[in-house]
Chain A
């Protein structure tokens, strides 16, 4: 069955994805996502009852380490990439009114 993506869905996904789409981008996204989901719906032909979802191929365990600092002070090197900085910190627009 064809998936119809509503304006509300695209609006909602845009909020989750933190993307601001233009009107034409929204229309395209509705079409693209609908087509993709139609294709992905093929998975429904497969009976997965009782199958454990596999997120990692190999068993993964927490990698623990001693709580000691191993890296050196890289503040200057890291802050160099910041689009805006002030007094050795990242600068962002006012967040608390």
Chain B
């Protein structure tokens, strides 16, 4: 049996039933990374010894009955912008290339309490700024389906690792689509939860009002199970929300009868690839056949989401990244004259071009004289976008559309034209602006052999509607594995 072909929940069951030991599972993951990662490049750090040590400890806890959750003993990969005590956390940036956190992010801690074994940290766009994982200062990650293409981003390493079956599941983070878009490009499933559901404590901040951690896995069942494990109210995150409901797995029901699904017309206009369009509309038909009520509607302000997003995200980034100054941790330039020059040189040498671009833009839109015209204007636009969604969710339980306008582009094409790359975020950024939950799951494969993703968006705190719809749709599909994943079959 190929242990790596199992879903996280399937593996968890086999570990519980003593068919597979935690050590066997971890060895399988490490062997898979060893065999594939030179070609894929998902990982920036592999925790070989620590993972083996943890495997034995967790096996002991399972044997003694101290751990019996669905994820106990299952290996996980963590995006490298989540702090992990004693494990290098780089944000795929030179400025944090030697950073060893003294504490672990709350979401990761929650997973560890559930018995997860961290096998490594995954590559990402530097500070999560990018849509292809190509802005990483460490390495290039390739799409496991076709290594001439990007995995998407910024959680490209996490999604590629799951698709290539180098790990059973992973955590990603999503500020403007960074879980959903690479999930779509790599043919895996990912959830961006309602803002405030998963603690941001220990997540290295990019756009604090938009950032959320979420699961990346092979299927909806895994994602709901992982989300249940990582969600918690956390006083250490001042925007953490005390939810009434943290039960997501009860929504894993194959039944969409009466579920009202709205399709925004604007999501299917210019710029959408015809194959993506066909696959996504086909998914809508499948759900309709299963009893959902599907109709088109006008969602307003779709074209204002990207400019508003880039103003807000860059403004927050310029402020959040002010902490990287070469004093307390991270990279410090070797030669400098005085404190001020040390700050400037450390930052200029430590940050890559895309990060600098966003810090500059953010500093500009927040500067005196421009603050009202750009930053406040964007926050007002955000309020109007939120209103548009509120209106839509008075009528619909779920909004259905693509996760990205195309399948994965070729390596080396996207960074040449940043604005064009930003436009690829059209279906994802408004979800972050409005704080909504969204899921991306595979709905087909293009004629070129690249996966296509379906996005389902729910109202705030209504993850269960999108989980139910996604689960029902998934039941009509077979999970497509890339050739690289099948290597050990």
Instruction: Name A residues whose Cβ lies closer than 8 Å to a Cβ of B.
Output: 9-10, 12-14, 16-21, 25, 28-29, 32-33, 35-37, 39-46, 48, 51-58, 60, 62-63, 65, 74, 77-78, 80-84, 90, 92-95
A74 to B102, CA, bound (A): 8
Minimal beta-carbon separation of B165 from chain A (angstroms)? 34
Chain B residues contacting A37 (CB-CB under 8 Å) are 374
Is there an interface contact between B357 and A32, defined as CB atoms closer than 8 Å? yes
Is there an interface contact between A16 and B363, defined as CB atoms closer than 8 Å? yes
Evaluate whether A35 and B419 lie within 8 angstroms (CB atoms) in the complex, with A16-B363, A40-B311 already known: yes
User: Interface residue count for B (Cβ, 8 Å)?
Assistant: 70
Is there an interface contact between A48 and B380, defined as CB atoms closer than 8 Å? yes
| 15 extra interface residue pairs, beta carbon distance < 8 Å, beyond A28-B353, A82-B329 | A19-B359, A20-B348, A29-B357, A29-B360, A53-B376, A53-B382, A54-B379, A57-B195, A58-B435, A77-B102, A81-B328, A82-B327, A82-B328, A93-B336, A95-B339
Chain B residues contacting A48 (CB-CB under 8 Å) are 377, 380-381, 384
Is there an interface contact between B303 and A60, defined as CB atoms closer than 8 Å? no
Is there an interface contact between A43 and B195, defined as CB atoms closer than 8 Å? no
Is there an interface contact between A63 and B343, defined as CB atoms closer than 8 Å? no
Chain A residues contacting B209 (CB-CB under 8 Å) are 55-57
Return the CB mask of B237-258 against A: 1 if under 8 Å, else 0: 0110100000000000000000
Return the CB mask of B293-314 against A: 1 if under 8 Å, else 0: 0000000010110111011000
Is there an interface contact between A55 and B339, defined as CB atoms closer than 8 Å? no
Evaluate whether A53 and B379 lie within 8 angstroms (CB atoms) in the complex, with A46-B384, A74-B102, A83-B327 already known: yes
Minimal beta-carbon separation of B236 from chain A (angstroms)? 9
Is there an interface contact between A42 and B307, defined as CB atoms closer than 8 Å? yes
Is there an interface contact between B367 and A78, defined as CB atoms closer than 8 Å? no
Minimal beta-carbon separation of A57 from chain B (angstroms)? 3
Is there an interface contact between A19 and B376, defined as CB atoms closer than 8 Å? no
Minimal beta-carbon separation of A20 from chain B (angstroms)? 4
Scoring A28, A53, A74 by chain B CB atoms within 10 A of each residue's CB, the highest score goes to A53
Minimal beta-carbon separation of B391 from chain A (angstroms)? 15
Cβ 8 A contact of B360, one of A17, A56, A78: A17
Stretch at the interface among B132-140, B180-188, B223-231, B318-326: B318-326
B79 an interface residue at 8 Å Cβ cutoff?
no
20 cross-chain CB contacts under 8 A: A12-B367, A17-B318, A17-B362, A18-B322, A32-B361, A36-B419, A40-B307, A40-B365, A41-B307, A43-B378, A43-B381, A44-B377, A54-B383, A55-B209, A58-B239, A58-B241, A60-B238, A80-B100, A83-B327, A90-B328
Is there an interface contact between B345 and A13, defined as CB atoms closer than 8 Å? no
Cβ 8 A contact of A81, one of B241, B329, B348, B362: B329
Is there an interface contact between B357 and A54, defined as CB atoms closer than 8 Å? no
A63 to B379, CA, bound (A): 23
Evaluate whether A63 and B238 lie within 8 angstroms (CB atoms) in the complex, with A57-B195, A81-B330 already known: yes
